[in-house]
Chain A
Amino acid sequence: MIATGAHALAVGAICPVAAEDERPRYAVDGQVPAVVAFPRAPEEVGRLVALAGEHGWAVTPWGGGTHMALGDRPRRVDLVICTTGLADLVEYQPANLTCTVQAGVRLPDLQRVLREQGQMLPLDPPKPEQATVGGLIACNSSGPARARYGTCRDVLIGIQVVNDAGTLTRAGGRVVKNVTGYDLCKLYTGSLGTLGIITEATFKVWPLRERESTVLASYRELAPAWETVRALFRAGLPVHACELLLPSASEGRGYLLAIRLGGGQASLNRQKADVTTICSAGFPPQQTRAIEIVEGDTAPDFWQSLASYGWAEHDLVARVSAPPASLGQLLAALPRDAIAVAHALSGVAYVYGLGRSVLADVVAQVQNACLVLEQCSPWEKAQGSVWGPVGPEFALMRRVKEQFDPRGIFNPGRFVGGL
């Protein structure tokens, strides 16, 4: 454990630290760190981790702070390493559609740079204004765009990580196709800072959509809305996102389907026509068609607010997932007034305001379904792991943790099975 005084001085010799009255802002599950450090370069992160290792301090990496509620209550929080000072755009090669940035770069800043070249990073996590690249990877955050582009693992092609000894290590590279050594990018993605501290990342980026439209269709019941989702899946249109909002989340618009389309004019017209036909076919005879098409310029705000839906208002945010075709079953098993938004083609839904006792029953009704409480009260955390029970593969995960962090200094206790 850090005794503030002398150790804070040692940290302060490496980089700026938070003032005494600032520290409580960096509490994790109520545990206030003894020191909060703001390194300005990956090398400083390395020196901090080396120091922490020497003294056996527990280190918690902190990016934009948008997902600090994720995970179980850490066993200890001694040193918070805030990565927002690592804010350099390292290399951007528009002609190669690759971009290397430091971990503290905020997502909107990166998107702005990419947009100037007609490109984008196709990741749209909740609370994007604050989210940093490093946090995004560590939490494996995703959003509606995963329907078309996948998640972090599909676009992350290179990474720099400070390991438990404070050494800067690399994996992957800056090319879009690469089988050179083990793909540690995959291992670090979603590892919640338990294997090392991400200091830099290289992404495969995508050309921006030429034009876009959003089709909105409201249904009175879940069944026709879900059938429409399945019909869309079978139609194989290049849908960029397909969200299903349950009535309590749609502001009086019933079971609302929001379908984001993109492409050139001719392709977009065709997609709108097809999607409208599919959505119309989904309405039962007794219900009037309720379809609206929102054209490009206004829709992005809608999508941005949808990506962050519910996070600010609800203490309880749960992620349920299942094989995509079974998601309808999960949604049907929820209480009728549940507040939920589903990435309907991807097999993932976010449920707001409901705790484990209700959701565990829901998930138990669907084969291979998972439940993770991404944001919840200390009381919920005290009842059991937010990640749910561990499976037979956990022994391997424990060995991964033991190999990469033998002294257990990185985020101890926050990850699956108490890792």
Chain B
Amino acid sequence: MALLRTVAGTANVLDHPTDLLVYDGDGAADKGQPDVVVFADSAEQVQGIVRIALEHGQPVTARGAGTGLSGGAVTSQGGILLITTHMHRLLEVDQENRTALVEPGLVNVELSNQVADLGLFYAPDPSSQKSCTLGGNVAENSGGPHCLALGMTTNHVLGLNVVLPNGEALELGGPTPDRPGYDLVGALVGSEGTLAITTRICVRLTRKPEAVRTFLVVFETIAQASQAVSGIIAAGMMPAAMEMIDRLVVQAVEAAFHVGFPASAGAVLIVELDGLTEAVEDDSLRLRQLCRELGAAEVREAVEESERTRLWQARKEAFGALGRIAPNYYIVDTVVPRSQLMNVMQQVTATAEEYQLQLGNVFHAGDGNLHPNILFDARQPGMLERVLECGKKFVEICVAAGGSLSGEHGIGLEKQEFMPLVFNEDDLAQMRRLKRVFNPDHFFNPCKIFPNGHATCAEVPRRPGSDLAAAAW
């Protein structure tokens, strides 16, 4: 402990039980208390902390803002929780290559804000973008509404500086394309902090589109809205974003934000088109026509910038608005082929009814990325178990329809036991090989991603006899 304080500074090391309580989880249901929390200020400190931990056989779990939704930043085995939020500088903007060098603790939207004057932005925009960090985004390969046309985090990360579990610091990738060798940056993005800790990121910036038009398309039923999403994609349109909000969430959002959603709507789509003025004009006409053909009750356009901002605020903060309906919610992140949306939504709705659970849907429909939200009161006995069981059913429905476990939140602790639904033992063994390359002793973020029953996880990196609380260190 004294060593940690020497490296990171006394104020940046927390080990009082009440302090530790604050850091026992992220945005997911699973909890796990760290033995000590350390805020790092620099890559050198990260390396120093990792080396101390290594010497004392303590696992290290990296954490950004803790907004993750799969338990990626939960210290399932105790040890050190290394927080990178103090490393939040935008180090360099290279306008000529349209790239930026950032520290991992920089908040997602802050990057876009800081380069806005240059006519640029950072494309991946998770709903939590006002608080989540870019380091966390790299770990989870985060998505967001605008990933439909522009791709996920992995499509926007060019290089990484990392500290490896052996304490080594390394720079990987960079702005030069087609570098010889294995794409280690590609392998690290989305590895959920189980392979390396990011200390610096080289990201691609995107030029702001010259025209943006945002539409609110109203449907009588969620089935019609789902069908419309498939229809728009099948017609060869590539909107910048296409988000679905169902009746329950529409009502909650309306009560919270007064965006003018029609209370009678069965579901609404927020569809955004961007690009050249002429292209957006053409696409708008096409979209209106398609929506009418696909049974929309109404197509409204957010004409003023303020309307557009409100619409997106309503979308991104919809989860918060759900607090008006029930004290707790459990958001399930799954993904299906877009042609299966209607079929899957029907099954998901029926399943929630079967479990007598209230469901609110707000999701990235254009990608087929569902987020059915189960609304409940955790104080009711047996409720959480029922909710989690229902969530598992949702995942099974999606997998049966050709989908996958997670579109953007990751596996973490939440879905590790579901991995066999999509990957057999051989597939997982191949992934474990990658883990052995970087983190053979499970020293970083142990007991995540792979199915191992984390209650009885065998990945316990502690040395026998070592104890973080011991005065010796």
Contacts and interface: CB of A to CB of B under 8 A. Distances in A.
B404 A267 contact: no
B130 interface: no
A36 B234 CA distance: 42
B295 interface: no
Interface string A189-221: 111000100000000001110000000000000
Contact of A95 (B234, B279, B283): B234
Contact of B278 (A150, A270, A321): A270
Most buried by A among B140, B180, B404, B410: B180
A370 B338 contact: no
Contacts of A173: 403-404, 422
Contact of A175 (B94, B164, B185, B336): B336
A381 interface: no
A179 B177 contact: no
B434 A182 contact: yes
Contacts of B94: 323, 325
Interface string B321-340: 00000000000000111111
Contacts of B98: 233
Contacts of B152: 177, 179
Interface stretch (B58-66, B257-265, B435-443): B435-443
Contact of B155 (A142, A154, A187): A154
Contacts of B426: 163, 167-169
Interface in A369-419: 369-370, 372, 387-388, 390-394, 396-397, 399-400, 403-404, 415-417
A288 interface: no
B46 to A, nearest CB: 18
Interface residues of B, number: 89
B18 interface: no
Contacts, number: 250
B32 interface: no
A388 B96 CA distance: 27
Interface stretch (B78-86, B187-195, B381-389, B461-469): B187-195
B278 A269 contact: yes
A118 B402 CA distance: 23
B175 interface: yes
Contacts of B409: 179
Nearest to B369: A177
A264 B279 contact: yes
A167 B424 CA distance: 11
Interface in A80-116: 93-98
A45 to B, nearest CB: 14
Given A173-B422, A403-B437, A368 B337 contact: no
A179 B176 contact: no
Contacts of B405: 180
Given A171-B430, A393-B184, A179 B140 contact: yes
A182 B187 contact: yes
Contacts of A181: 411, 419, 422-423, 427-428, 431, 449
A319 B177 CA distance: 11
A179 B403 CA distance: 12
A186 B282 contact: no
B230 A187 contact: no
Contact of A368 (B175, B185, B278, B364): B175
A178 interface: yes
Interface in B372-422: 402-411, 415, 419, 422
Given A97-B233, A264-B279, A325-B96, A189 B336 contact: no
Interface stretch (B166-174, B308-316, B349-357): B166-174
B218 interface: no
Contacts of B427: 169-171, 181
Interface in A46-91: none
Interface in A311-346: 319, 321-325, 346
Given A150-B155, A393-B184, A403 B436 contact: yes
Contacts of B236: 118-119, 207-208
A238 B238 CA distance: 14
A346 B177 contact: yes
Contacts of A399: 437
A240 to B, nearest CB: 13
A133 interface: no
Nearest to B143: A177
B433 interface: yes
Contact of A238 (B276, B411, B419, B430): B276
A112 to B, nearest CB: 17
Contacts of B96: 230, 324-325
B55 interface: no
Given A163-B426, A181-B449, A416-B181, A369 B210 contact: no
Interface string A152-168: 01100000010100011
Contacts of B282: 264, 266-267
Contacts of A266: 278-279, 281-282
B258 to A, nearest CB: 31
B369 to A, nearest CB: 5
A173 B409 CA distance: 16
Contacts of A394: 181
Given A179-B141, A392-B171, A174 B419 contact: no
A321 B175 CA distance: 10
A156 to B, nearest CB: 10
Most buried by B among A171, A185, A323: A323
A44 B228 CA distance: 43
A321 B279 contact: no
Given A153-B186, A392-B171, A370 B179 contact: yes
A269 B408 CA distance: 38
Given A175-B402, A175-B403, A264-B278, A324 B97 contact: yes
Interface of B: 94, 96-99, 119, 140-141, 143, 147, 151-152, 154-155, 164, 170-172, 174-187, 189-191, 207, 210, 230, 233-234, 236-238, 275-279, 281-283, 335-340, 364, 367-369, 402-411, 415, 419, 422-424, 426-431, 433-438, 449
20 contacts: A93-B339, A96-B233, A97-B233, A163-B426, A169-B427, A175-B337, A176-B367, A177-B143, A179-B411, A180-B404, A182-B187, A182-B191, A183-B154, A236-B207, A237-B276, A321-B178, A324-B97, A387-B180, A396-B164, A404-B430
